[in-house]
């Protein structure tokens, strides 16, 4: 062990840990990353990423490179017992309010390599591969972790520790933190394969809600396809170690001989939320904090929301512009959000996985009536809740606090760009000229003011302008993670909100 104390130690170098390392590295902090494995896991796990993830990766300059390897999500159809549609969920169409397509399909190892390459840009980020954590200690001012490595034991100290170390998180186990089981535990076999030749398949991702064989077909990026098939109660999951058994199960949906198999794996899908997300100087993020079944493709997306939420708060605390009390809002914001989202995802799993024919018939009748009546939520993004508590302005006049802020494509004399590319820290987007003194007030909290509709910046697509008109607002305060802190109307209310901001940030 050396005397060096890093600002942050990140355990886990998957996409969540790598994203956090990029964010903190870009902010100039001294970061160590430790990972058990020697290289990127070469099989896909997550296959779906959404607009929030792309917006976050935009912050670290990697979104365009990642998006170039992705394809739009085609939407999801739910097929009932009679082979006909009972439900559908499609992605929001253009114009895209966050500046990126609402949902994209990607190949995780490709994206992880881009994220790791991004980390190499920062000399202040040190990556330690083949490091297995086995001993932890927490002092008043730092955390110490000891690792087994090929060269012997190594001990690393840091002011803050973030465990992005997976569903079996050693960090969570060390802290002795339990998890709430939301009542979903099912074995499914997951198959990833490349199409070798043309073969009849649905155009969209399809959930086969058939009691005799609940299954999903997922249209991934390029010629990659995924099948998820529920292992029935009377079946032995171990039997699916046989590729012949897997092919037999797949035959109602595809000709297995048209495929080049990449991997098959049996998973026990869970719906769990970790009890505590912070213990002193230690935080949990990603799968260490929550697990959900894959029916809405929100597992990785949720992990990215975790680090988007945590990164800018850690940044302010490390720079001394906010007290450590700001970090208390991490669990207050993320845990209720993920619990609601996990329940939504679990209910989709219940729809797909029903094995009782009578209950399935009743389900089909109910969902069809809901679909035909127009009561069904059919836009995927509308299923994602807003934040309900935490670092939000209690005097918000808009009803938007906690929701995602739009990211308009702005036109300036030097060209066109997305609004986040012009912002630093907390940002106020104003309709026209900002109230006098607002720029100085925001500068005092390392913030930014963007005057939209002035000579310098225009909103050619009308995304921001139309929202503000509809809500009767003249100013939108946006956090670095893209969440609305407050919406206000008029110079007096806007400056009053800016007056409240330093107090809220200091806590």
Ordered domains of the chain (ranges, CATH): 5-71+102-178+274-343 (3.50.50.60), 409-506 (3.40.30.120)
Cis, bond preceding 387 (omega within 30 deg of 0): no
146, 174, 445: which is closest to 322 by C-alpha? 445
Question: Can you tell me the distance from the alpha carbon of 452 to that of 427, in angstroms, rounded to the nearest whole number?
Answer: 12
283, 272, 280: which is closest to 163 by C-alpha? 283
Question: Can you tell me the distance from the alpha carbon of 372 to that of 62, in angstroms, rounded to the nearest whole number?
Answer: 41
Q: According to the model, what pLDDT value does residue 498 have?
A: 97
* Contact between residue 12 and residue 165 where contact means Cβ atoms under 8 Å apart: yes
Reduce the DSSP state of residue 346 to 3 states and report it.
helix
Instruction: List Cα–Cα distances, 15 to 19, 246, 268, in angstroms.
Output: 6, 29, 21
Question: Can you tell me the distance from the alpha carbon of 350 to that of 201, in angstroms, rounded to the nearest whole number?
Answer: 24
- Give the H/E segment covering residue 308: helix 299-319
* Contact between residue 310 and residue 316 where contact means Cβ atoms under 8 Å apart: no
Question: Can you tell me the distance from the alpha carbon of 311 to that of 24, in angstroms, rounded to the nearest whole number?
Answer: 7
Q: According to the model, what pLDDT value does residue 3 have?
A: 82
Q: According to the model, what pLDDT value does residue 121 have?
A: 98
What is the distance between the terminal CA atoms of the chain, rounded to a whole angstrom? Answer: 35
Residues 6+ apart with CB under 8 A from 94: none
Strand partners, 293: none
303, 309, 302, 310: which is closest to 281 by C-alpha? 310
* Contact between residue 316 and residue 326 where contact means Cβ atoms under 8 Å apart: yes
* Contact between residue 73 and residue 105 where contact means Cβ atoms under 8 Å apart: yes
User: What parts of the chain have a pLDDT lower than 50?
Assistant: none
pTM of the model: 0.97
Find the farthest-apart pair of alpha carbons in the chain and give their distance in angstroms, rounded.
72
Q: According to the model, what pLDDT value does residue 414 have?
A: 82
């Amino acid at each position: 062990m050396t005397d060096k104390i890093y600002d942050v130690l990140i355990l886990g170098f998957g996409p969540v840990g790598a994203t956090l390392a990029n964010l903190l590295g870009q902010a100039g902090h001294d970061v160590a990353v430790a990972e058990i494995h020697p290289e990127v896991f070469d099989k896909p796990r997550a296959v779906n990423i959404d607009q929030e993830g792309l917006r976050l990766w935009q912050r670290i300059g990697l979104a365009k490179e990642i998006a170039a390897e992705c394809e739009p999500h085609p939407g999801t159809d739910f097929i009932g017992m009679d082979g006909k549609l009972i439900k559908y969920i499609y992605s929001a169409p253009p114009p895209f309010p966050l500046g990126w397509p609402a949902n994209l399909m990607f190949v995780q190892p490709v994206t992880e390599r881009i994220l790791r390459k991004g980390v190499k840009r920062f000399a202040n980020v040190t990556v330690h591969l083949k490091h297995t954590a086995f001993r932890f200690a927490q002092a008043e001012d730092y955390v110490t972790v000891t690792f087994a490595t090929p060269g012997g034991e190594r001990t690393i100290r840091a002011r803050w520790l973030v465990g992005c170390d997976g569903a079996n998180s050693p960090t969570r186990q060390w802290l002795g933190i339990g998890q709430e089981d939301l009542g979903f535990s099912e074995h499914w076999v997951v198959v990833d394969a490349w199409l070798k030749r043309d073969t009849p398949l649905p155009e969209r991702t399809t959930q086969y809600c058939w009691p005799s064989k609940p299954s999903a077909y997922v249209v991934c990026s390029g010629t990659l396809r995924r099948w998820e098939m529920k292992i029935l109660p009377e079946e032995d999951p171990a039997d699916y170690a046989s590729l012949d058994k897997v092919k037999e199960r797949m035959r109602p949906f595809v000709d297995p001989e048209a495929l080049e198999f990449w991997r098959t794996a049996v998973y026990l899908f869970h719906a769990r939320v970790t009890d505590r997300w912070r213990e002193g100087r230690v935080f949990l993020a990603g799968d260490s904090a929550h697990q959900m079944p894959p029916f809405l493709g929100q597992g990785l997306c949720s992990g990215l929301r975790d680090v988007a939420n945590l990164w800018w708060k850690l940044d302010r605390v490390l720079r001394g512009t906010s007290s450590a009390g700001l970090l208390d809002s991490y669990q207050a914001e993320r845990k209720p959000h993920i619990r609601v989202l996990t329940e939504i995802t679990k209910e989709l799993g219940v729809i797909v996985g029903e094995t009782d024919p009578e209950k399935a018939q009743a389900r089909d009748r109910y969902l069809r009536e809901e679909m035909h009546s127009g009561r069904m939520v059919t836009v995927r993004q509308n299923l994602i809740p807003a934040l309900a508590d935490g670092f939000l302005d209690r005097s918000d006049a808009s009803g938007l606090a906690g929701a995602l802020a739009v990211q308009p494509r702005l036109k300036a004399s030097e060209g066109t760009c997305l609004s986040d590319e012009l912002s630093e820290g907390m940002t106020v987007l104003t309709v026209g000229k900002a109230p006098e003194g607002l720029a100085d007030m925001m500068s005092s909290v390392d913030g930014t003011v963007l005057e939209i509709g002035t000579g310098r910046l225009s909103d050619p697509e009308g995304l921001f302008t139309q929202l503000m008109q509809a809500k009767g607002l003249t100013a939108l305060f946006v956090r670095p993670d893209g969440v609305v802190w407050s919406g206000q109307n008029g110079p007096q209310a806007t400056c009053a909100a800016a007056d409240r901001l330093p107090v809220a940030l200091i806590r």
